[in-house]
Structure 1
Amino acid sequence: MTSIVGREPISGPSAWRGDELSKSAEWIYVLSDAERAELEDLGRRFVADDPDLRTVTATDYRFDACRALNDECARQMDTGRGFVLVRGLRTKEYGDVMAAAIFFVMGLHLGRPIGQNQRGDLLDHVIATSDKTLSDEGALPSRVRDRLPFHSDSSDVVALMCLRGAKEGGASSLVSGTTVYNELLLRRPDLAPRLFDSYHWDWRRQDPDSPELTYTSPIISYVDGVFSTYAGSSMVFSAQQYADVPKLTPDQVEAINLFDEISQHHGLPIDMDFQPGDVQWLLNYAALHSRTGYVDHPQPERRRHLLRLWLKRDVGRPLTPGFGKHVVEMGEPTGPPLAGGRFRIADAVTVNDDWGV
């Protein structure tokens, strides 16, 4: 394996611009009647079977009509633009539990669901559970209404299903990590090497029950011609509060800030307004994700509510040693899960309001 900091831009299907991509619907996969019917049948059976989410496998819920859907999602994540939006599920008709069951079955066919916190929850929620803002002590990004900076999650794949949208705002935003790097390389080639440095990331802010305060990772990996990104400036900067974390150099601060600034540059991101039933599949190494700030409906039951899956998907992708959240097995708890984990679909789809408040 070789890792080279080059001065040439990275090419390929993952190097897209949002203003160009949004001119077409090529990134949206609309379910056929047969695909939707099969997913609904599998969802009903999943709810009736009520399997343990920790042990159920894709072979228990085989695809037939949805094989092409699954192949396209896998192709786009592994070797394509890095993401796909699947549209056409009628979640309003059959409710949250069956919607979550369908989402989980789809996830089983694309990877292995992994724990998203020290409780071991395999299905988590993106929903505002208080009126905290991102700057408040202990606030989790998934549980506030603020705009989020572009970042990566702690998995190979992150998937979102929209159960309910916001009253205003709350668009899901994606940006190509490859395109952001290429633009930074064009503007400031002298700063590009700093993205390959290893940084401390604030683990405690990502998970209040984390066993350590931080872990380390570079922002960019380029190994054997394969480019990957792991970004999240707020977690790098907040880690600076801990006494044992080395202070960032001026060049490192400038490089991180410029990477974040470019990711928000007009024309680079693509924004999508989630509709109920939409499912977004994203390879964390190919694209960064964010959302715009939003206003909720006043009724608690109408709050913006997304379900989230983290998947381990082994496609043999070469990565720089110590890249990403390598301190654990891609998001797995470091020991026996803490009390409170929910491993049945009807329990897992209920918002854990005590998390991140």
Structure 2
Amino acid sequence: WRGRDLAADPSRWTHVLTSDEIAELDDALRRARAGGVDVIDLTPETFPLPTLAPRLRRMRDDLVHGLGVYLIRGLPVERYDRWETCAAFYGMGTHMGWACPQNAAGHVLGHDLGRDPNDPATRTYTTSAAQPFHTDSADVVGLCCLNNDVVGGDSMVASVVEIWNRMRSESPAALRTLAEPFPVDRKGEIPPGCGPTYDMPVFHVHRGDGSGSEPAEPTLMNAGPEWLLSGIYDRNFIASAQARFDVENDGVPRLTSAQTEALDALDAMCLDDDVCLHMRLEPGDIQWLHNHTTLHARTAYGVDPGGRDAGEPPPRHLLRLWITPPNARPLPASFATRFGSVTVGPERGGIRVEGQTPYCALE
């Protein structure tokens, strides 16, 4: 798909919660709170959504096998307290699949609060800095907007298939380079038995039968229906590998000029107005994206320099979920380097380190 086409027809990828669906959420929240269920312990059984759950499953099917982008609007965050908002989002997520830890600390519910981007220990998504086009370490990512009273901070999404097709005709040499491995930094979030960096191509053509096999010349083949295309990309982590490691001591090669030019071409194509879908998340919006068939980004944002009164909520606050859906597509075997397991199930995807205990922070 092209961003321009989706922007012209939001009905293809947007749903506004009905009054009946909101009533179901309210009822599920009352039951969970009365039962003393912690947010992280919610399940489809303890958070029943008789009408909304089938819609979420249909949306999940379209995410994995269709457009790869969906927006739900109208979650009543203005009248929910923090527990209710987190529980509503997480509870909906349980009907999508299994939640994955998003960092070494084991957070299964992330918070974008505009932290200091100059702090090296801070992940970019939690700061106010621009986040270039990338994918996450999970099949599906969900973002729930609580507040977005800032200048900037807009969301951008691009189709991996559209980019692939354009590069095949406009930049075939760059596409071939992007199908070859790049060194990537783990930024200290190192799974057991792994090193601090790993090698990964951006684009993968692979069989859809679960074998995980990839052709020797993926950019030259005429792929049939038995083949899938998956993207996996984060230029910040590629740049970090160049900055923190070297050839002599760490065995991390320097990027060639061809590699740098290919990454530049990819980033520029993502920003093309015909390719990129722009959206601004408003309070109550929930954006869902399929990481293997879309790349997403966020513009930098700033806060009114006049400041805010004590007790006011943060000017921008988004909740984040990483989900492994039970209908997840097969992945190439090489994805195991980043996803841990490519077998569909609760252990696939996420950031997993030794001694980690997943938990759900409400703040």
TM-score range, shorter chain: 0.7 to 0.9
State the match for 2:178 in structure 1. Answer: 195
Partner of 2:355: 336
Please give the alpha-carbon distance, in whole angstroms, between the structure 2 residues aligned to 1:65 and 1:31: 11
Cα pair 2:106 2:356 within 8 Å, conserved: yes
* Aligned position for 2:141: 158
CA root-mean-square deviation: 2.3
Q: 1:301: how far off?
A: 2.1
Of the three residues 286, 298, 323, the one matched with 1:311 is 323
State how far apart, in whole Å, the 1-side matches of 2:50 and 2:5 are.
34
Q: Deviations over 1:4-42 (max 9, x none)?
A: xxxxxxxxxxxx111111112222111111111101221
Question: Contact 1:85 / 1:278 at 8 angstroms: preserved in 2?
Answer: yes
Kept in 2: contact 1:166–1:295 (CA 8 A): no
Q: TM-score if structure 2 supplies the norm length?
A: 0.83
Contact 2:190 2:352 in 1 (8 A): no
The residue number in structure 1 matching 2:313 is 301
The DSSP-based 3-state class of the residue aligned with 2:37 is coil
Q: What secondary structure is seen at the aligned counterpart in 2 of 1:191?
A: helix
Report matched runs for 1:89-104 at 5 Å. 89-104=75-90
2:228 matched residue in structure 1 = 226
Question: Structure 2 CA distance, aligned partners of 1:168 and 1:49?
Answer: 41
| Cα gap change, 1:52 to 1:220, in 2 (>3 Å) | same
The aligned residue for residue 325 of structure 1 is 338
Task: Give, in angstroms, the shift of residue 82 of structure 1.
Answer: 0.1
What is the match of residue 55 of structure 2? Answer: 69
In the TM superposition, residue 316 of structure 1 has moved relative to its aligned partner by 5.0
Matches within 5 A, 1:75-154: 75-130=61-116, 132-133=117-118, 137-154=120-137
CA distance in 2, matches of 1:67, 1:138: 37
Cα distance change of structure 1 residues 214 and 73 upon mapping to structure 2, 3 Å threshold: same
Amino acid at match of 1:239: A
Identical counterparts, % of pairs: 30
Q: Do the aligned partners of residues 215 and 58 (structure 1) sit closer, same or farther apart at CA in structure 2, a change above 3 Å counting?
A: farther
Shift of 1:257: 1.7
Residue by residue, what CA displacement relative to the aligned partner does 1:191-227 show, whole Å, maximum 9, x if unpaired?
212222122212117x599974223322112123211
Q: How far apart are the structure 1 equivalents of 2:282 and 2:41?
A: 30
Structure 1 position 282 matched with structure 2 position 289: yes
TM-score after normalising by structure 1:
0.84
Q: 2:253 aligns with which of 246, 252, 257?
A: 246
1:12 counterpart residue number: none
Supply the AA of the counterpart residue of 1:349: L
Q: Structure 2: which 5+ residue stretches go unaligned?
A: 208-226, 342-347
Secondary structure, aligned partner of 1:331: coil
Matched, 1:18 2:18: no
State the distance in 2 between where 1:55 and 1:96 align. Answer: 17
Structure 2 Cα separation of the partners of residues 217 and 42 of structure 1: 42
Indicate whether 1:216 and 2:205 are aligned: no
Q: Could you tell me which of 32, 35, 40 is aligned with 2:21?
A: 35
Q: Deviations over 1:117-172 (max 9, x none)?
A: 12211111111123x34xx6344211221221100011111100000003211111
Number of aligned pairs?
A: 325
Amino acid at match of 1:326: F
Q: Which residue type is aligned with residue 17 of structure 2?
A: L
Native 8 Å contact 1:164 1:305 kept in 2:
yes
Q: Which runs of 5+ in 1 are unaligned?
A: 1-15, 351-357
| Alignment-mate amino acid for residue 192 of structure 1 | L
- Post-superposition CA distance 1:219-261 (Å, at most 9, x none): 1121232111111222112211212212223222221221111
Q: Judging changes above 3 Å, is the alpha-carbon distance between structure 1 residues 56 and 92 closer, same or farther for their aligned structure 2 residues?
A: closer
Contact 1:198-1:216 at 8 Å conserved across structures: yes
What does the per-residue CA deviation read over 1:29-81, in whole Å, with 9 as the maximum and x for residues that have no partner? 11111111101221233333343455442222222111342133212211111
Distance (whole Å) between structure 2 residues aligned to residue 137 and residue 74 of structure 1: 35
Distance, in Å, in 2 between the alignment partners of 1:272 and 1:41 is 31
